[in-house]
Structure 1
Amino acid sequence: MTPVPDVIEGFKRGDPDAVRAVYQEHAGAVYTVARSIVHDRELAADVVQQTFVKAWRAAKSFEGNRQLAPWLYSIARRTAIDTLRSETKPTRGGHAPETDIGVQPETFERTWERFEVRRAIDALPDGERVVVRLSHMEGHTHEAIAERLGIPIGTVKSRSGRAHKRLAAALAHLSANQPGADDVEKVEDPT
């Protein structure tokens, strides 16, 4: 069924009733066009919405002597192709495309372990605590820490070594609770 000329004129003016009538008449066919390109229900539904928004914005430029359906389908086709491209292109910075992953809720044990680690770090002497936080929480190298604190790199290394020994002793109960903890090889800090 082709919309009556009054509906097309109302659509061009942006009349809400005319826009609604055009949507009701053509949304199913626009969805079919979109789905044939994107092959995904949710993306196709997004394409339908985008198509009608674009058509509504461009309605004043629609020539009344043309048929409305092919005009809408061409908008849907271009919108679907653009949507498909944006879904498959890598994220900014050249990274791989985004993927959805399941998020595991935080367990009580993990929360308790995190609390114990924070408590052990807070219990360190000031100089050692600062070095541990800059190194492990902010990711700075020993050289960067020495420069930032204005102390020799040897001092940073010795504070780091002492802090690691204190933390290992303070947190030994955590590794004892882990399965296979006795099998873990002791690794010296290379710095």
Structure 2
Amino acid sequence: MPNVIAINAQASQSIIAAQATSDDMLLESIADGNRTSMHILYCRHNVRVYRFILRIVRDATTAEDLVSQVFLDVWRTAGQFQGRSQVSTWLLSIARFKALTAMRQRRFEDIDQEDVRQIPDDTDTPETSLDRSDTSAILRACVQKLSPAHREIITLVYYHEKSVEEVGRIIGIPQSTVKTRMFYARKQLADLLKGCGVDRFAA
């Protein structure tokens, strides 16, 4: 009879080793059908991908469904990743495509833009209940008031710590356009924060 303790120890060592590997190495392993690597990549990035999608679709159930679709695509297409960007950038590119597709489908179902704006965002409820002295909460609330294009730029740069080059790849626009949008997004955000009593936008 096999030694169960030894087998469990070996499995634990394999998981620990996989957790220490880079995202690129995990993708190579996933391309070979390694489910443990897929699980680790999912655990490493699913929260970030979910939050990114949620800021676009503003619906928790839709965001959860899209996260599943994103990682299903990763499982199916891991071998196609060519390493031209960070794995996290690639994941957000897939996530953005799926989120925007979902939004287009929603509009196709006769929900116009005004209706979309009026859909309640449950994620804002805790923030609105916080004291106005909580700068972090005020910042998040002000970001939600930005235009979709400007909110997307701020989200990628400050919440996901993406460079101008990476943002350009994710959105599919020139770096010069990223910089221009970033300039106006910061200006608009600074005005919103000032109106809330916060004098300075700290990056």
Instruction: Give the TM-score, by structure 1 length.
Output: 0.44
Greater Rg by CA? 1
- In terms of fraction of residues, the more helix-rich structure is 2
Instruction: Give the TM-score, by structure 2 length.
Output: 0.41
Higher relative contact order (CA 8 A, sep 6+): 2
